[in-house]
Structure 1
Amino acid sequence: MQVYDVPVAFFDLDDSLINKDANSLWIRWRARRERWAVVEAMLALASLYRAYKKGRVTHWRLSNYYRTRTRGMSPEEYQARVERFFEERGQLHIYPQAASLLFAYQRQGTELVMITGSDDVVARAYGKALGFKHVISNRLRSEDGRITGLELPMCYGPGKVELARRFLADKGLTFSDAAFYSDSHADIPLLDAVRQPVVLNPSPELRSIARERSWPCLDWRPQG
């Protein structure tokens, strides 16, 4: 695995550093414990994932999903459930190769940043396990002790680019100082922006685009 000489390396989470997307893992874990999770799963599959495949994820749609996902929970209750989820299921899906790649970047002094569409509670759990000092994610909004949706900007598509830009600007850096690893066609705007894009376990669509643009490709999925 080649390591690039950049001050900052951004990494996506879902299907990149882990072999599933965190929302699917959460739904399967929760469905065994709470009947409400069936409604959550139906909403996610019928609305959110179809929108994702079509590139039509909106702030309203994602906030609605999180209102359903956390119905009636306080931020503290959600934190406790996520910690249990991560311990019982979430951590089992981290690619073993991820630790080696991240360590190589840390050894050369590159600052590592996870940048993901997962919510901040889930993202921090994975970030801590993988040794990230910085995590950029969708941020849960709460009112009167209850989760009500997501803050803006949304960490998806152009919003992810803007959040990455702000992080770099705070360091006195620009996209020419960064690499980015991702599996998703939704991340093409950020892959286009950085100096060194790398596609990681890519979707067929992204693999085709990577070939056209001569982007490096890593695939940690079992072959055959």
Structure 2
Amino acid sequence: MPSRLALFDLDNTLLAGDSDHGWGEFMVQQGLVDAADYGAKNDVFYADYLAGSLDMVAYAEFALAQLTQYSAQELNDIHKQFMQTTVIPMIAPKTQALLQKHREAGDVLVIITATNDFITGPIAAHLEIPHLIATPTECIDGRYTGKLSGSPCFKAGKIDKLKAWMSQQGYTIEGACFYSDSHNDLPLLELVDEPIAVDPDAQLEARALVKGWPVLSLR
């Protein structure tokens, strides 16, 4: 019997916070960007995300613009510090136990996230989740261009990215479960056999109640 997919949103699901927004705050705290201008724009984008009105391409390119001035090694060093100060403390208390439950069941663990692959790659590695589907960043000759290399992995775009990944990897959606906190993920939650709402926002909580979906907290 083929292994089933266990799909996980990242921000505010496995993490008790948002790594994309956290990256912006980290950049401000480290003095790597102009605090007033960058911080204010970062907060506006995050508010748009929570409201379901985010222009994902604009936000991704806003976040990626700062990467162009650094070498790959510099970014690696910066990200290591980001992991220690921001991400690791953000991991929800019950996340590791949930992941281990799925490993023991023989499931294939996949993070599927709107946050870009620069930010989320090391997070997936730290959580020992072998597969990552994220918003793709463009990197040429070892340097980030500040642009995306494809469409965002956001809202219904998560379905497109997942289908392409499954085709490449030889998996199907049959029996899959998906954990998410956000109404932005309703398209994929509606698609899978086992949708699970995790510390859900108000809109997702209401839909889960109507649909009879499980609701759990990892915090």
TM over 0.5: yes
**Runs (4+) of structure 1 moved beyond 6 Å?**
none
Identity %: 25
Distance in 2, matches of 1:158 and 1:102, equals: 25
Identify which of 8, 12, 17 aligns with 1:11: 8
Asked whether the equivalents of residues 59 and 150 of structure 1 are also in contact (C-alpha less than 8 Å), the reply is no
SS at structure 2 position matched to 1:176: coil
Distance in 2, matches of 1:41 and 1:138, equals: 22
The aligned runs of 1:192-207 (5 Å cut-off) are 192-207=190-205
Deviations 1:33-84 (A, max 9, x none): 21625232222222x2233234233353123312444252344432321121
Bigger mean CA offset, 49-58 vs 205-214: 49-58
Partner residue, 2:31: 34
Bigger mean CA offset, 152-161 vs 73-82: 73-82
Asked whether the equivalents of residues 18 and 95 of structure 1 are also in contact (C-alpha less than 8 Å), the reply is yes
Distance in 2, matches of 1:148 and 1:138, equals: 13
Partner residue, 1:152: 150
Which ranges of structure 1 fall in alignment gaps of 5 or more residues?
none
Partner residue, 1:112: 109
Distance in 1, matches of 2:79 and 2:39, equals: 16
Partner residue, 2:160: 162
Distance in 2, matches of 1:37 and 1:15, equals: 26
Distance in 2, matches of 1:143 and 1:171, equals: 25
SS at structure 1 position matched to 2:20: helix
Partner residue, 2:207: 209
- Alignment partner of 1:97 is 2:94: yes
The aligned runs of 1:82-93 (5 Å cut-off) are 82-93=79-90
Asked whether the equivalents of residues 27 and 37 of structure 1 are also in contact (C-alpha less than 8 Å), the reply is no
Partner residue, 2:74: 77
Which ranges of structure 2 fall in alignment gaps of 5 or more residues?
none
SS at structure 1 position matched to 2:70: coil
Query: CA, structure 1 residues 150+76, in 2 after alignment: closer, same or farther (shift >3 Å)?
Result: farther
TM-score by length of 1: 0.87
Partner residue, 1:181: 179
Question: What is the number of equivalent residue pairs in this alignment?
Answer: 216
Distance in 2, matches of 1:71 and 1:171, equals: 31
Compute the displacement of 1:113 (Å).
0.2
